Structure 1
Amino acid sequence: MALDPTALMGPLWTLLAFVALGVVAARRLKVDPRPIATLLIYLIAPLTFFRALVLGGPTPAWLGLTASLFILASLVALLVNAVAHRWLPGEEGAVLAFSAGTGNTGYFGLPVALVLLPPEGVTVYLFCVLGVTLYEFTVGFYLSARGRFSVRDSLLKIARLPLIYAFLAALLVEMLGVDVPESVTEALSVFPATYTLLGMMIIGMTLGRVSLRSLDGRFIGACVGVRYLLWPALMLGAVMLLDATLGLSPDLRLALLLVGVVPMAANVVVVAMELGIAPEKGALAVLITTLAAPVVIPLYLSGMLAIVGQ
């Protein structure tokens, strides 16, 4: 399967334009990104994913996919966390551990999935994204908080995260067979675009305050290595194993591989901003992996799909 790099330029330039708006907002308008990060975590993200779950109609098979991605992301993050704290300061190690379990599956990956996959494949991809997102706001948030807070305080912060309750509420709605009024889902339709816009603008707002002292080659190299070496290898191995044992549809193969090759998650900056742990270094690493994406994604996906015989 040959991929046209030009098909990815539209999503890339749109996202970079949002980053540029964030830089302007920070430098010219002196906008403080911290309240926006809080708004994303405690309001916009929960409503965005509640709407997606309600519209998607979760089935046991799709929820199994979500659970599998959640477990994989958590295991990768825990492994990197154990290694990172041996050679990085506490806060930087926490940011690296958080970023190790996630990627920009939403802000960047979803527009790419819409280009590469049919509607059914996009739905499958969204349930993969949900597993990664649940990791971000549970295990990932805990690992990040432990870079600065005690175990008790870190757990209390997780307990206050509404995305967990939004996920449970959506499952309850599905189990009880409750029909959410169309007017409600239409009213919530503004949140996905807002989630993407503000998430990418926060990167720009953080970069607008970055100095050359924030350029840490060791930290950025570790982030890039985990995102563009470890994750592609993991997802390729997982797809080959599952295909040999269970058999996978072409859409599911591509959806899983795409999860493995997206750039670093913008939520790395959002969570670091909320917890006050090295957001500038995280923003630089996110920007570098995003700029590399138009080259990396077509190259990796073409090679990986050739290996799995698609």
Structure 2
Amino acid sequence: MTLDPSTLMGPLWTLLAFVGLGWLAARRLAVDPRPIATLLIYLIAPLTFFRGLILGGPTPTYLLVTAALFATACLVALGVSRLAHRALPGEEGAVLAFSAGTGNTGYFGLPVALVLLPPSGVTLYLFGVLGVTLYEFTLGFYLSARGRFSMRDSLAKILRLPMIYAFLAALLVEAAGLEIPATILEGMDVFPPTYTLLGMMIIGMTLGRVTVRQFDWRFIGACVAVRYALWPLLALGAVLGLQATMGLAPELAMALLLVGVVPMAANVVVVAMELGIAPEKGALAVLLTTLAAPLLIPLYLGWMLPLVSG
């Protein structure tokens, strides 16, 4: 299986257009991105997450994929966090630690998954994305908050996040066999595209405030190394290990590899904006890794696919 780089150009240009709209909104309309970040975290993201779980029909197998990606994201973030705080100032280290456990699996990765995977593989990929998203709004949010707040205040902020309760509510609905009316689910169709649009626009709004002094190449280099060196090797190692010990369906192998090669998550900027921890530096790193994705993703997959299909 091969991936034509032109496959990625559609998602790339769409996302960059949203970033450009955000830049214009900040520079010409003086739009403040922080209320938008709050709206994403406390309303749009939980409803998007809840809708995805309900429509996906969680099964033990799917939830195992979610749990595995959640645990992996947490372990990577904790490991990078210990190293980051020795080499970077508190806020930059917190942003790096948060970004280490996540990637742009939704806005960027999903269109690629739809091209590369059959419907069953797309479902597996989506439940993996849910695990990464759950990390973002639990441990990831905590690690970010610790860059500025005490442990007690950071834990209190997590307990106020509705994402956890959206996840539990979706599992309760499924366990109880409740049916969500079709009209309600149709009304919730607006949330995923809104989540994508506003999430990418926040990057542009933040970049509209960037000055030359905020080009921190040590921080950006660390972000790129974690996203495009550590994660691809980790995904490849996990797939090869599972194939050798338990066996692994080809579509799940591809889904895991794709999680490992996507660019940095736009939510790095969303969370940094909400907590007030170096969002400008995060936005620069996200933009650079996104611009590199059409070149690097085909390169990585072209190298890894023969190894896992041999």
Q: Same fold (TM over 0.5)?
A: yes
Identity %, equivalent residues: 78
How far apart, in 2, do the equivalents of 1:208 and 1:107 lie?
21
Shift of 1:302: 1.3
Aligned residues: 310
Which amino acid in the other structure matches residue 61 of structure 2? A
1:222 corresponds to 2:204? no
Counterparts in 2 of 1:150-169, with a 5 A limit?
A: 150-169=150-169
Which amino acid in the other structure matches residue 19 of structure 2? V
2:32 aligns with: 32
Report the more deviating stretch, 105-114 or 24-33. Answer: 105-114
How far apart, in 1, do the equivalents of 2:93 and 2:277 lie?
10
Report the more deviating stretch, 108-117 or 206-215. Answer: 108-117
Which amino acid in the other structure matches residue 273 of structure 2? M
Counterparts in 2 of 1:59-138, with a 5 A limit?
A: 59-138=59-138
How far apart, in 2, do the equivalents of 1:195 and 1:112 lie?
18
Taking structure 1 as the reference length, what is the TM-score of the superposition? 0.99
Shift of 1:67: 0.5
How far apart, in 1, do the equivalents of 2:136 and 2:184 lie?
26
How far apart, in 1, do the equivalents of 2:301 and 2:212 lie?
34
1:294 aligns with: 294
SS for the counterpart of 1:86 is helix
Which amino acid in the other structure matches residue 73 of structure 2? A
Shift of 1:286: 0.1
Which amino acid in the other structure matches residue 160 of structure 1? R
How far apart, in 2, do the equivalents of 1:281 and 1:219 lie?
8
Counterparts in 2 of 1:211-290, with a 5 A limit?
A: 211-290=211-290
1:191 aligns with: 191
SS for the counterpart of 1:184 is helix
Shift of 1:8: 1.0
How far apart, in 2, do the equivalents of 1:58 and 1:90 lie?
38
How far apart, in 2, do the equivalents of 1:162 and 1:262 lie?
26
1:205 corresponds to 2:210? no
Deviations 1:44-63 (A, max 9, x none): 00000100100100001110
Shift of 1:87: 1.1
How far apart, in 2, do the equivalents of 1:6 and 1:182 lie?
37
Taking structure 2 as the reference length, what is the TM-score of the superposition? 0.99
How far apart, in 2, do the equivalents of 1:185 and 1:290 lie?
31
How far apart, in 2, do the equivalents of 1:188 and 1:78 lie?
34
How far apart, in 2, do the equivalents of 1:287 and 1:124 lie?
27
Shift of 1:117: 1.2
Which amino acid in the other structure matches residue 107 of structure 1? Y
Q: Which runs of 5+ in 1 are unaligned?
A: none
Shift of 1:183: 0.6
Deviations 1:280-305 (A, max 9, x none): 00000000000000001111011111
How far apart, in 2, do the equivalents of 1:284 and 1:82 lie?
23
2:148 aligns with: 148
Shift of 1:118: 1.6
How far apart, in 1, do the equivalents of 2:293 and 2:153 lie?
36
Shift of 1:7: 1.0
1:46 aligns with: 46
How far apart, in 2, do the equivalents of 1:246 and 1:18 lie?
42
Q: Which runs of 5+ in 2 are unaligned?
A: none
Which amino acid in the other structure matches residue 233 of structure 2? A
SS for the counterpart of 1:179 is coil
Shift of 1:208: 0.6
2:173 aligns with: 173
SS for the counterpart of 2:61 is helix
How far apart, in 1, do the equivalents of 2:181 and 2:301 lie?
39
2:17 aligns with: 17
How far apart, in 2, do the equivalents of 1:166 and 1:111 lie?
25
Which amino acid in the other structure matches residue 217 of structure 1? W
